[in-house]
């Protein structure tokens, strides 16, 4: 078959008039490059599911790929979870274009396969869906979201029966089932018939259960001070739930960026709805100055990440993803009274967590990138008698509660507010607490640089870059000898440097990017000059970063 034959065959099975019209127009225009971009490959199960641009074809997110993914998931559940037909799956959605349509496709395909569906009638944050899947002991879960990706994207995030995102062998098993069902028509049970058969149950009450359970984990400490918060949901779905959590926990002074409070998957006021991106938090930082906030917070559009800024000299300083992780880990370990505590972070996150954990007598482990690895490892460690306290990845993803087996930007925001309020009662801020940890353990400078690849050959060019560095790894970075070079996961290249510094290179699991992560550490001298240590570490960090980019040709 030619690429045009494949496109015409796709048209016959596409139930969506919008993507049919899109594809027919490309065929009529003989748009070879555009059609090859859509049909030269298929979306693969990556970071716990699918994520990609909306559009027609197997290399896009659309009703066909969602229906095939659901049929594959249900077929795999039937072989791996004997009572899946009674336990069912939980399904939720964000506010992106087509999320509601894709959710209905999931329901109709799953119920046709005999799998009951528990669904929210409205949009929900991803952590609420993850909470519901765990609370209901569902056989699995599906969240329709592209998290912090640009507005042209959507995604399909899969949870297993343990409440965590899928890992091997389940991701590969689902992928094989998708391949088996792809050439065949996908059976569907119309939504009205699924309801009439009792195969669909609305679970809106579980949002309130999540709010209560998360808020009640944070005791009302007597040393709290009133705290004012400036907040943005970045046009996402987290605000209603976050406001409920904070109010129940006793924090009622929340000021929201009004034009970003209503869910809107077009993200009209930000170029890129990711709080890590330059400019994304400009409006909430301005609001913080306007209302005299103590703390500025931003969730990403599906609410599983959180960014923060604290007061500094009549302005605000953004905390890095590692800053937040270290602060939360230290605070949670101080409060922990359970035996054999353990904290986890990913290999691209700051090694400073190991020193903080050791100071509290806790165990520290590193996992591959992504909370699917953190949470599945945490469950293994708990079965071995360890007590999971906290896990994080530097990309603003934190997991401070065992009520959700995934990163949770809402419970993490509450923990930051609680910590900031207790610090304020002593005349201190999150920045003061962070700098105290730097003084104790050393200053760990970190940088993350992302290089975006565009076009149909983006993936092949990314692989070529990784292959080049693997074949010719640098022997020195920033003038420091490389003592160890490893590849703990395919495409993830790690360079350990003399003196405890580190550099890493990896392809993103969710976007066409190659990411560079570098760390440089400097100890505070006897005179306690933290600023001097920061300067030395940052200078070395820049040299390490520059050398790694040069070695990769970027």
Q: Report pLDDT digits (tens) over 332-344.
A: 999 999 999 999 9
Among candidates 145, 87, 97, 154, which has minimal Cα distance to 117? 87
The per-residue pLDDT for range 129-158, each reduced to its tens digit, is 999 999 999 999 999 999 999 999 999 999
Burial level of 82, CB count in 10 A (0-12/13-18/19+)?
exposed
Partners of 153 in beta bridges: 53
SS3 per residue for 420-478? HHHHHCCCCCHHHHHHHHHHHHCEEEEEEEEEECCCCCHHHHHHHHHHHHHHCCCCEEC
**Could you give the percent of the chain with pLDDT greater than 90?**
90
Among candidates 439, 506, 512, which has minimal Cα distance to 470? 506
Residue 48: pLDDT above 70? no
Contacts of 183 (CB under 8 A, 6+ apart): none
Assign 457 a pLDDT band (cuts: 50, 70, 90): confident
The per-residue pLDDT for range 158-205, each reduced to its tens digit, is 999 999 999 999 999 999 999 999 878 899 999 999 999 999 999 999
Q: What is the pLDDT of residue 455?
A: 78
Burial level of 451, CB count in 10 A (0-12/13-18/19+)?
middle
**Region 436-460: what's the mean pLDDT?**
90
What would the two tokens of residue 228 be?
């004012």
Among 32-46, 234-248, 260-274, 379-393, the range scoring the smallest mean pLDDT is 32-46
What domains does the chain contain, in order, with CATH numbers?
Answer: 3-202 (3.40.120.10), 209-216+227-318 (3.40.120.10), 321-439 (3.40.120.10), 443-552 (3.30.310.50)
Q: What is the pLDDT of residue 188?
A: 97
Catalytic residue (choose from 99, 147, 256, 411): 147
Q: What is the pLDDT of residue 182?
A: 81
Among 44-48, 158-162, 353-357, 360-364, the range scoring the smallest mean pLDDT is 44-48
Q: What is the pLDDT of residue 528?
A: 75
Distance linking the first and last C-alpha atoms of the chain: 38
- What does pTM read for this prediction? 0.95
The per-residue pLDDT for range 512-527, each reduced to its tens digit, is 899 999 999 999 987 6
Among candidates 383, 394, 415, 177, which has minimal Cα distance to 295? 415
Burial level of 459, CB count in 10 A (0-12/13-18/19+)?
middle
Residue 365 exposure: Cα atoms within 13 Å on the Cβ side: 18
Assign 480 a pLDDT band (cuts: 50, 70, 90): very high
Residue 147 among the catalytic residues: yes
The per-residue pLDDT for range 83-131, each reduced to its tens digit, is 999 999 999 999 999 999 999 999 999 999 999 999 999 999 999 999 9
């Amino acid at each position: 078959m030619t690429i045009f034959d494949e496109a015409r065959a796709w048209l016959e099975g596409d139930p969506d008039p919008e993507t049919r019209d899109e594809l027919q127009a490309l065929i009529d225009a003989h748009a070879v490059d555009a059609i090859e971009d859509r049909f030269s490959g298929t979306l693969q199960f990556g970071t716990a599911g699918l994520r990609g641009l909306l559009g027609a074809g197997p290399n896009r997110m659309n009703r066909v790929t969602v229906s095939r993914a659901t049929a594959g998931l249900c077929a795999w559940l039937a072989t791996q979870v004997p009572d899946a037909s009674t336990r069912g799956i939980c399904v939720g959605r964000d506010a992106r274009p087509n999320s509601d349509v894709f959710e209905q496709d999931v329901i109709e395909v799953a119920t046709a396969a005999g799998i009951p569906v528990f669904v929210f009638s409205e949009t929900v944050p991803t952590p609420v869906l993850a909470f519901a899947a765990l609370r209901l002991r569902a056989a699995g879960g599906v969240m329709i979201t592209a998290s912090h990706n640009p507005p042209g994207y959507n995604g399909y995030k899969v949870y297993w029966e343990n409440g965590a995102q899928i890992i091997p062998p389940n991701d590969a098993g689902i992928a094989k089932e998708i391949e088996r069902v792809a050439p065949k028509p996908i059976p569907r049970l119309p939504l009205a018939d699924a309801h009439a058969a009792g195969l669909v149950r609305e679970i809106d009450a579980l949002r309130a259960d999540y709010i209560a359970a998360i808020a009640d984990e944070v005791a009302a400490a007597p040393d709290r001070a009133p705290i004012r918060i400036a907040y943005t949901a970045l046009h996402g779905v987290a605000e209603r739930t976050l406001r409920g959590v904070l109010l129940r926990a006793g924090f009622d002074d929340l000021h929201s960026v009004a034009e970003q409070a209503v869910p809107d998957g077009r993200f009209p006021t930000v170029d890129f709805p990711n709080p890590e991106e330059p400019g994304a938090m400009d409006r909430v930082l301005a609001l913080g100055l306007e209302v005299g906030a103590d703390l500025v917070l931003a969730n990403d559009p599906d609410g599983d990440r959180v960014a923060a800024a604290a007061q500094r000299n009549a302005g605000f300083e953004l905390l890095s993803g590692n800053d937040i992780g270290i602060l939360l880990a230290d605070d949670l370990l101080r409060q922990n009274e359970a035996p054999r505590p353990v904290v986890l972070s990913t290999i691209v996150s700051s090694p400073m967590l190991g020193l903080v954990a050791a100071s509290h007598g806790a165990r520290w482990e590193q996992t591959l990138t992504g909370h699917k690895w953190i949470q599945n490892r945490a469950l293994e460690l708990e079965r071995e008698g360890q007590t999971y306290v906290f896990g994080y990845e530097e990309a603003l993803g934190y997991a401070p509660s065992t009520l959700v087996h995934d990163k949770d930007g809402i419970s993490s925001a509450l923990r930051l507010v609680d910590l900031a309020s207790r610090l304020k009662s002593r005349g201190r801020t999150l920045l003061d607490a962070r700098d105290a940890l730097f003084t104790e353990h050393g200053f760990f400078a970190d940088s993350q640089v992302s290089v975006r690849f565009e076009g149909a050959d983006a993936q092949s060019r990314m692989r070529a870059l990784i292959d080049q560095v693997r074949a010719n790894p640098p022997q020195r970075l920033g003038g420091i000898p490389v003592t160890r070079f490893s590849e703990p996961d395919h495409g993830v290249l790690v360079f350990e440097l003399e003196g405890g510094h580190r550099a890493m290179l990896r392809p993103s699991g969710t976007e066409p990017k190659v990411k560079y992560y570098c760390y440089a550490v400097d100890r505070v001298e006897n005179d306690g000059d933290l600023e001097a240590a920061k300067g030395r570490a940052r200078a070395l960090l820049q040299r390490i970063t520059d050398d790694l980019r040069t070695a990769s040709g970027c």
